[in-house]
């Protein structure tokens, strides 16, 4: 990682995996926790990550909904590992899969208490439709990880005008 207090740039030896961030807070979302002289404590890193998430969600809500993140089991990448014509590279917190005609950058979720490290990767929602070739999308979707959701709400979102009759309307 090279840079100063205001701008960071992370790259691999071939300069193929590059990201530019204009603040310390943003670099955590896109790359990795920056380490200043003397290091960054876990408390500071957690606060910076929280601010970075808030800023990303604000952008998703106001300007760029395609930045919303979708998570996948990291096993989605096994299909490409060691396969001729594909390159799979990573840093500690971001990676890239490259095929002959496409490439996709992804985040690598760090260690989560109670889970093994590197079990989840995440991408921007827009990349699912724009960067992953149509023939690969079913593979990625089969590895998607989602939170519990209301089936009726999802039906309402995917089919405008859907009628939901699952109980009386009441105050909450």
> Coil, helix or strand for 19?
strand
- pLDDT confidence of residue 107: 94
- CB-CB neighbours of 125 under 10 Å: 16
The pLDDT assigned to 160 comes to 76
> Is residue 29 within 8 Å of 38, Cβ to Cβ?
no
3-state secondary structure of 21: strand
Contact between 144 and 69 (Cβ < 8 Å): no
Say how far apart CA 48 and CA 110 lie, in whole Å.
15
Tell me the pLDDT tens digit for each residue of 6-34: 333 333 333 333 333 333 333 333 333 33
- For 85, the 3-state DSSP assignment is coil
> What is residue 35's predicted lDDT score, i.e. its pLDDT?
38
pLDDT at 112 (0 to 100): 58
166: Cβ contacts below 8 Å, ≥ 6 apart? 152
Q: Given this model, what pLDDT does residue 115 score?
A: 63
- Enumerate helices (H) and strands (E) in the chain, giving the number of each: 5, 9
Distance CA 59, CA 96 (A): 23
| Adjacent-strand bridge partners of 21 | 8
- What the block records as the tokens of 40 is 């960054």
Distance CA 67, CA 24 (A): 19
Domain residue limits, the chain:
1-63, 66-147
pLDDT tens for 78-94 read 999 999 999 999 998 89
What per-residue confidence (pLDDT) applies to 18?
37
Residue 164, pLDDT score? 80
Confidence at residue 20, expressed as pLDDT on a 0 to 100 scale: 38
- H or E element at residue 62: helix 42-62
Please report, in tens digits, the pLDDT of each residue of the chain (172 residues total): 333 333 333 333 333 333 333 333 333 333 333 334 444 445 566 677 678 778 878 888 888 898 899 999 999 999 999 999 999 999 988 999 999 999 999 999 876 566 667 899 999 999 999 999 999 999 999 999 988 888 888 878 878 777 788 888 889 9
């Amino acid at each position: 990682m090279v840079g100063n207090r205001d701008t960071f740039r992370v790259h691999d030896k071939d300069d193929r995996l590059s990201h530019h961030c204009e603040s310390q807070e943003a670099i955590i979302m896109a790359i990795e926790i920056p380490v200043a002289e003397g290091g960054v404590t876990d408390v500071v890193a957690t606060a910076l990550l929280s601010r970075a998430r808030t800023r990303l969600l604000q952008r998703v809500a106001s300007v760029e909904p395609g930045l919303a993140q979708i998570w996948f089991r990291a096993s989605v990448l096994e299909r490409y590992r060691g396969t001729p014509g594909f390159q799979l590279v990573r840093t500690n917190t971001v990676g890239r899969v490259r095929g002959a005609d496409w490439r996709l950058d992804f985040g690598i979720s760090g260690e989560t208490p109670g889970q093994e490290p590197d079990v989840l990767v995440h991408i921007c929602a827009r990349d699912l439709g724009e960067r992953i070739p149509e023939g690969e999308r079913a593979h990625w979707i089969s590895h998607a990880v989602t939170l519990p959701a209301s089936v009726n709400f999802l039906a309402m979102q995917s089919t405008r005008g859907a009628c939901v009759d699952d109980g009386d309307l009441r105050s909450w």
